[in-house]
């Protein structure tokens, strides 16, 4: 599939996955990939997340106000308290809004109505989507357990509330989430047992309970296919010594041969785990995958984001277009 087409499929992409799988990094890579094909992008960082600025080579944390991260990529933070204040202001309750948000009442109210925080935040995202503040809005969502609650709460509220402005808000959010032309969820995972199991479970839960359309699953940090490691080190050494390159006999110390062999077996074993998990994901979850290679870098900065955005674009290009199967 063409990258431009992929990025134009829906207005909002929610990036979700277990903690530590690289959601923030992948949010940055998706944003950058979209910017590379000429889209304007707004990244929304939710409560409890950080690190998106570093992925664009910048320092400091995001604030409530939008910030340009580079080219056509902007980003901002969005907390439930901000969303509540805005919501109340929009509903003519400016005078009490700050007090309500800061008096701990939100804690009490959100206990009474589970998900009010989520509905407020998603309601704000819906508003931004409606205003078309960017071609693509990328949401760096909380870890999966929370992401499920995050995305299902609106539906729960529509069922529970009898009426009033909050129900309208929740209905608007449900409309956003269930329209694939407006919003899709992309799950991010690692090629490891736990993250894959959790991805499979949450994919079904999200489809059933939140009614969202799932995009392809990003499998982050895939081990590259081992090349030239199929024969034991001792065998390779013995064979080359026997042939004798140009008549020379190569002296390879046994300790080195052992290190080569251990390293070889380790790589094969890790790749085996990785490949097995990708296979299991294909077997148990009928969604396309975008395999992103692990990158050899101490931390994710702008250079790494660019590499990952390219890798992601390559993976997107090999996706079969929707409806073609």
Partner 1 sequence: MSSVSASAGSAGSAVPDLAERAALAAVVEDRSVVVCCGSGGVGKTTVSATFALAAARAGRRACVVTVDPARRLADALGVQSLPNTPTEVAGEWPGHLFALMLDSKGTFDDLVQRYARTPEQAESILANRLYQNLAGALSGTQEYMAMEKLYELVHSDEFDIVVVDTPPTRNALDLLDAPRRLTRFLENRLFRALLVPTRMSLRAVGMATQALLRTISKVAGAEIVQDAVAFFQAFEGMEDGFRTRATAVHDLLADPATAYVLVTSARPDAVEEAGFFASKLSEREVAVAALVVNRIAPSFGTADAAASPPPGVDAVPELEPLEANLAELNVVAAREAASYAGLAAQVAPAPIGRIPLFGYDVHELAGLERAADCLFG
Asked if 229 interacts with partner 1 (CB under 8 A), we say yes
> Whose CA is closest to 214, among 288, 324, 314, 281?
288
3-state secondary structure 240-309: HHHHCHHHCCCCCCHHHHHHHHHHHHHHHHHHHHHHHHHHHHHHHCCCCEEEEECCCCCCCCHHHHHHHH
Asked if 5 interacts with partner 1 (CB under 8 A), we say no
Q: Which residue in the set 59, 60, 164, 242 belongs to the binding site for partner 1 (CB under 8 A)?
A: 164
Burial of 296 (0-12, 13-18, 19+ CB in 10 A): exposed
Distance CA 26, CA 32 (A): 10
Map the footprint of partner 1 across residues 13-52, applying CB under 8 A: 18-21, 48, 51
Q: Which residue in the set 68, 181, 194, 303 belongs to the binding site for partner 1 (CB under 8 A)?
A: 194
Map the footprint of partner 1 across residues 199-228, applying CB under 8 A: 226-228
Distance CA 273, CA 253 (A): 31
DSSP state of 53: T
Map the footprint of partner 1 across residues 264-323, applying CB under 8 A: 264-270, 272-273, 276, 296, 298-300
Distance CA 174, CA 153 (A): 9
Distance CA 99, CA 321 (A): 50
Smallest gap from Cβ 132 to partner 1, in A, equals 27
- Residue nearer to partner 1 on the CB measure, 12 or 300: 300
Q: Which residue in the set 57, 70, 71, 114 belongs to the binding site for partner 1 (CB under 8 A)?
A: 114
Q: Which residue in the set 59, 60, 65, 104 belongs to the binding site for partner 1 (CB under 8 A)?
A: 104
Asked if 263 interacts with partner 1 (CB under 8 A), we say yes
Smallest gap from Cβ 263 to partner 1, in A, equals 4
Distance CA 189, CA 23 (A): 8
Asked if 108 interacts with partner 1 (CB under 8 A), we say yes
Tokens of 214: 């799932």
Q: Which residue in the set 68, 181, 258, 303 belongs to the binding site for partner 1 (CB under 8 A)?
A: 258
Q: Which stretch binds partner 1 (CB under 8 A): 71-79, 177-185, 239-247, 281-289?
A: 239-247
């Amino acid at each position: 599939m063409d990258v431009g087409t992929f990025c134009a499929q829906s207005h909002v992409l929610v990036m979700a996955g277990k903690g530590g799988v690289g959601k923030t990094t992948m949010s940055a890579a998706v944003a950058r990939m979209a910017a590379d094909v000429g889209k304007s992008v707004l990244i929304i960082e939710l409560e409890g997340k950080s690190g998106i600025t570093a992925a664009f080579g910048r320092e400091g944390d995001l604030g409530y106000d939008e910030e340009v991260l580079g080219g056509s990529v902007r980003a901002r933070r969005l907390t439930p308290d901000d969303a509540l204040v805005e919501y109340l202001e929009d509903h003519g309750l400016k005078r009490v809004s700050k007090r309500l948000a800061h008096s701990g009442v939100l804690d009490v109210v959100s206990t009474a109505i589970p998900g009010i925080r989520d509905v407020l935040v998603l309601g704000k995202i819906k508003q931004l989507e409606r205003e078309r503040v960017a071609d693509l809005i990328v949401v760096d969502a909380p870890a999966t357990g929370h992401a499920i609650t995050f995305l299902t709460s609106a539906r729960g509220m529509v069922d529970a509330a009898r009426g009033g402005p909050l129900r309208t808000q929740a209905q608007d959010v449900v409309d956003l989430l269930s329209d694939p032309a407006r919003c899709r969820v992309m799950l991010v995972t690692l090629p490891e047992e736990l993250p894959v199991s959790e991805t499979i479970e949450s994919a079904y839960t999200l489809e059933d309970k939140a009614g969202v359309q799932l995009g392809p699953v990003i499998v982050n940090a895939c081990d590259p296919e081992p090349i030239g490691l199929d024969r034991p080190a001792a065998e390779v050494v013995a064979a080359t010594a026997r042939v004798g390159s140009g008549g020379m006999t190569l002296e390879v110390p046994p300790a080195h041969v052992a290190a080569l062999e251990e390293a070889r077996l380790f790589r094969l074993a890790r790749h085996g785990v990785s490949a097995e998990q990708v296979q299991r994901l294909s077997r148990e979850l009928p969604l396309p995958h975008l395999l992103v290679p692990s990158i050899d870098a101490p931390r994710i900065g702008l250079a790494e984001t660019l590499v990952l955005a390219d890798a992601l674009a390559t993976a997107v290009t090999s996706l079969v277009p929707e409806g073609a199967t």
